[in-house]
Amino acid sequence: MKYKSSLILTLALLLAAGETNLNAVAQMATDSFPLPKTVAAGTKLHIDGSNSMQAVNQGLKERFQKQFPGTDITLPAKYQGSDTAVKAVEAGKVDLASIGRIITKEEIAKGIAAKEIGRSKIAIIVKNNNPYKGNLTLKDFAKIYQGKVTDWSQLASSKGAKGKIKVIDRPNTSDTRRAFSNYPVFQNGQLKTGSNVEKLTEDSTTAMVAKLGQNDIGYAPADQVKNIPGIRSITLHNTQPDNPKYPFSQPLVYAYKNKDGKVSEGAKAFVGYASDPTGQKGISESIAAGVVATDTAPVVDGNNVKPAPTIEDVAVPSTAEITTTTTPAPAKGGLPWWWMLPALAAGGGLLWFLNKKKPTETIYRTSTAYAPTRKSTDTIDRSSSGYIPTTTSTARVDAHQSTVEHLSPDLRDVWLAINNEPTNFDSIVTRAQHSETHVTNALSQLESMGLITQLPGRKYQRAH
């Protein structure tokens, strides 16, 4: 009953706000696929997408086929990328597109729906012999990326390091690159690169590693570089990518065809499994294990790189972790859902009016469970537009509190929906009363500001 009320409220508020594309409204509703008790032997599922989902796909495939014998999950020898995979789903050529971004309005309009199952950390990488050994902030990295800092000696954290920096950048279609735009330091046109950039023609971590020189810097999904010899991740805000507080990540998403409420049984079963705690555990373990280093992986030794075929061809260990959700299709013979829209719109308008007039009556604003924390062990770096924690000693509570007080209303809604104890993603969406896409973007920003911490199982809690 609670789920239905939340869904109706979401539809009503969207309609009251002036949403005219009814198909888009229907597809924006959160889908919830339960873990199936059984899956028929012979069930086949074809997955393609972004190589940022490589480890997760392999881990889930092995676990799913073990739990449901006789099922057949096909993964690509070489991933085609998110845009191509989503088009393939639309055309019925594949069942699921595993992507590292949120689907677009245009894709929603074409009958594509999606479920975010978690997030993956983005590592900022250099070669082991790179002279820089310091601690970057996201603002530092943005300045390097934008060409405002072109030598390691220009950084306050250089510790004597010097050398001309070259940025190895991924193609514009890369999901990992697209994730930058979720962070304030890369917004408002700040995703432009400087003259110190070399652009790759393929979205490949192997190509990225092969191009890195002694003074160069790049980036990649953390699970794809942790086992590559000769490569290290730069410390970001005093954390490494395996730390839950590490503030740089991208979403992990499964996109599927939801034409007129119909989703293939194989897709529902697989996404349901990925959403279940069993699948969640598998996802987190796959991300933690990373891509196995084999004789096909690139070996970096000094300035010499032994190229490999592609990172997509490297074996990945089994297991992984994360969550999902979906609107159940109406029962056969039931009334069509759209007959309720006029009433929902009117009800949404009334709810909006009451909320506007008496905001203090909203449970999420008055409950002590969502009161701002009075404890903190982080010092706030106010030189960064994200106010990200830069040390773990003697934090000032008033600085933390000031940051919260200056949040935009939408960000504050999401922050208020998070407890001091771990809060799962679906609960945050319900409490914040915003779309899943909005909440996902807001969580990225709050994480980058050091106000929340992401935990395994797609849970979040306020930073202490």
* Terminal alpha carbon distance of the chain: 34
User: Are residues 129 and 11 part of one domain?
Assistant: no
Per residue of the chain (464 residues), what is the pLDDT tens digit? Answer: 433 443 444 334 333 333 333 333 334 345 678 898 999 999 999 999 998 898 899 999 999 999 999 999 999 998 999 999 999 999 999 999 999 998 999 999 999 999 999 889 999 999 999 999 999 999 999 999 999 999 999 999 999 999 999 999 999 999 999 999 888 888 876 678 989 999 999 999 999 999 999 999 999 999 999 889 999 999 999 999 999 889 999 999 999 998 776 888 899 999 999 999 989 998 988 888 875 433 333 434 444 444 433 333 222 222 232 333 333 333 333 444 444 445 445 555 544 444 443 333 222 222 333 333 333 333 333 333 333 333 334 344 444 555 666 677 778 788 888 988 888 888 888 788 787 777 887 888 888 778 888 887 788 888 86
Give residue 403's pLDDT.
64
Domain identity same for 137 and 99: no
In this structure, the answer to whether residues 143 and 226 fall within a common structural domain is yes
Token pair in block for residue 347: 């009800």
- What is the value of pTM for the model shown? 0.62
CATH classification at residue 378 = 1.10.10.10
Determine the pLDDT at residue 51: 86
Whether residue 147 sits in one domain with residue 113: no
State residue 284's pLDDT score: 87
**Are 418 and 459 spatial neighbours (Cβ–Cβ below 8 Å)?**
no
Cα angle 144-408-457, degrees, rounded to a multiple of 5 = 75
CATH number at residue 162: 3.40.190.10
End-of-domain residue from the set 233, 249, 265 = 249
94 with 145, same domain: the answer is no
Give residue 402's pLDDT: 52
Question: How many Å apart are CA 329 and CA 351, to the nearest integer?
Answer: 26
22 and 141 together in one domain: no
Looking at residue 370, its pLDDT comes to 35
Please write the tens of the pLDDT for every residue from 72-123: 999 999 899 999 999 999 999 999 999 999 899 999 999 999 999 988 999 9
Let me know if residue 441 belongs to a domain.
yes
Q: Is 296 contained in some domain?
A: no
Q: What is the DSSP string of 322-342?
A: ----BPPPPPTTSPPGGGGHH
User: Would you state the pLDDT for residue 384?
Assistant: 33
The answer as to whether 330 is a domain residue is no
Q: Are residues 130 and 240 in the same domain?
A: yes
Residue 450: predicted pLDDT: 80
CB distance 91 to 326 below 8 Å = no
Which of 330, 321, 322, 201 lies closest to 261 in space, CA to CA?
330
State whether 163 and 245 are in the same domain.
Answer: yes
Q: Are residues 240 and 126 in the same domain?
A: yes
Residue 149 lies in a domain: yes
- What was the pLDDT predicted at 167? 97
Domain contains 400: yes
As a whole number of angstroms, the distance between CA 96 and CA 289 comes to 24
Q: Are residues 102 and 135 in the same domain?
A: no
pLDDT at residue 291, as a whole number: 55
Residues 93, 131 within the same domain: no
Asked if residue 327 is part of any domain, the answer here is: no
* Residue 303 domain-assigned (yes or no): no
* Number of domains within the chain: 3
For 230, the domain range is 121-249
The pLDDT assigned to 346 comes to: 52
Q: Compute the CA torsion angle 278, 281, 285, 288 (nearest 10 deg).
A: 160
| 302 located within any domain | no
pLDDT at residue number 177: 93
pLDDT at position 107: 93
What single letter denotes the amino acid at residue 333? G
Same domain, 137 and 241: yes
